[in-house]
Amino acid sequence: MPDDTTVLDAARIGGIYLESPCNGNGTCGKCLVEANAQTVLACKTKITQNTQIKTIVSRSENLTMQIISGGFSFDYPLKPLYPDGYGLIVDIGTTTLVVSLINLATGSAECTESLLNPQTQYAQDVLSRIHFAGEEGGLRKMYDALISALNETIVQMTSKLGIKPEDIKDAVYSGNTTMLHLAAIKDPSPLGKYPYIPALTGGEYIEPGQLKIGGRVYLPPIISAYVGADVTSGILASGLADAPQATLFIDVGTNGELVLAKDRKLIATSTAAGPAFEGMNISQGKRASNGAIESFHFNEDSTYEYGVIGGGEADGICGSGLLDIVAELARTGRITKTGRFADKSRIFQITENTAITQDDIRQVQLAKGAIRTGIDAMLQRLGLAANDIERVEIAGSFGYHISERSLLDLKMLPEEFTGKVHFVGNTSHSGAAAFLLNTDFRTKMESTVEEIEKLELSNDDNFQKLFVASLGF
């Protein structure tokens, strides 16, 4: 082993999972280990002959993560590619994976498993993964990590049902554009530089490669470099292309993806919201797992209440809790419109072990500002006012935990959206099921995607003005 090998390097070589969202840059503080009786960062600690790693400091959040597998869908006739046997759908999220084994004859999900996307050990967000994939061996590492996790899950599910992996005759991957590139072992580097042309466009079949199944994998059509097949699945599941009323669809995550439907015309865009919604880049942030504060509310007497996932003592704050806290601080005037603490402090202490800092609030401002900018830019493009929108659909696991009021108090959504917000769950997953169970949707959505107008915010003349205006509370 080379002399400059770090504990993080050694863990990766040995197949041991250590979370490092910043990919070993030493900035996230998440890869804590106990080395020679001292708590240190694994990415900054070199392995020596006398190094003893006794305990990995872990809050076991990967074992208790709250992952939403279900999403809104609709009734449709069964028309699978193979009328007998089993099919597989894999929702490949940036942070999580949702895998379902479907009986193709009945359309029922016989088994569903949710887990952490193992690629997070190398890079947290989309741009970081594109960069990591460009390093020597990086693409192969991320592909192998994903396929290994999927194969392990497939073996567990098929064993539970008493069938073989080879009995899986058809499969569908749903995910953002970068995730599909990594799953198909395609170089995503072009997605990180202008003119952002994907190496694959979806609406195609790929061979299973190392995936232990008996059929090919279908990739739904991709809308653009940063509006992926997960949104295509969401459009299908929610019936957005045929919506009778002006409807805004928002998939909230590290990469916010938005589609606006009006008179059967669709316009799509994406925003780099960053990982704050996942509890990352936050001083005491964590994923939605046991110990995370997931909700927060000030009472009229200035006391406050909060909910902790799993009950017990709080040891961190997940995305929904973070937004609730900041929204309540804004609503009650404890932070100003510019995001500063009104009492000039730099921190709001919630419990003895959890607090939110001024820097955390700035991360929320950037994330919510990115989403609001996308909304306002699309409204302008179609010549609509916020009040013209009759329905707002929030998709994704994050959206399932947050309240409409918090989104409005944060000014992430215009006040005119009051009473119009609907949380539709994991439509990437439910849309993928529709692609699997009725092959007519594959052709239909390929045509639909071709007609979608793509709005590139970085090319919008008003982008900077809109973004600055969206930062206030």
d(CA 23, CA 289): 22
CA angle, 129 as apex, 128 and 135 as ends, to 5°?
Answer: 95
d(CA 138, CA 146): 13
pLDDT at 32 over 80: no
| Domain regions of the chain by residue span | 7-58, 86-234
- The total number of residues written for the chain in this structure: 473
pLDDT at 467 over 80: yes
Per-residue pLDDT, averaged over 444-468, amounts to: 92
Tokens of 427: 């439509």
Per-residue pLDDT, averaged over 171-182, amounts to: 97
Query: Which helix (H) or strand (E) is 378 found in, with range?
Result: helix 358-381
Q: Which string of DSSP letters, residue by residue, matches 286-300?
A: --SSTTEEEEEEE-T
Beta strands at 109-116 and 96-103: parallel, antiparallel or unpaired: antiparallel
Instruction: Give the pLDDT score at 59.
Output: 40
d(CA 376, CA 468): 12
The per-residue pLDDT for range 252-308, each reduced to its tens digit, is: 877 889 999 999 999 999 998 877 887 778 999 988 889 999 999 999 999 999 999
- Give the chain's mean pLDDT: 89
Instruction: Give the pLDDT score at 63.
Output: 45
Q: How confident is the model at residue 8 (pLDDT cuts 50, 70, 90)?
A: confident
Per-residue pLDDT, averaged over 130-158, amounts to: 97
In the CATH hierarchy, which fold is given to the domain comprising 86-234? Nucleotidyltransferase; domain 5 (3.30.420)
The per-residue pLDDT for range 55-99, each reduced to its tens digit, is: 554 444 444 444 455 678 889 999 999 999 999 999 999 888 999
Q: Which string of DSSP letters, residue by residue, matches 408-464?
A: HHTTSS-GGGTT-EEEEE-HHHHHHHHHHHBTHHHHHHHHHHHHPEE--GGG-TTHH
Instruction: Give the pLDDT score at 365.
Output: 95
Per-residue pLDDT, averaged over 99-108, amounts to: 96
Instruction: Give the pLDDT score at 54.
Output: 58
Instruction: Give the pLDDT score at 29.
Output: 65
Question: 448: number of CA atoms within 13 Å, CB side?
Answer: 27
pLDDT above 70 covers a percentage of the chain that reads 89
Of 362, 176, 321, give the one whose Cα is nearest residue 254. 176
Q: Is 422 exposed, middle or buried (0-12, 13-18, 19+ CB in 10 A)?
A: middle
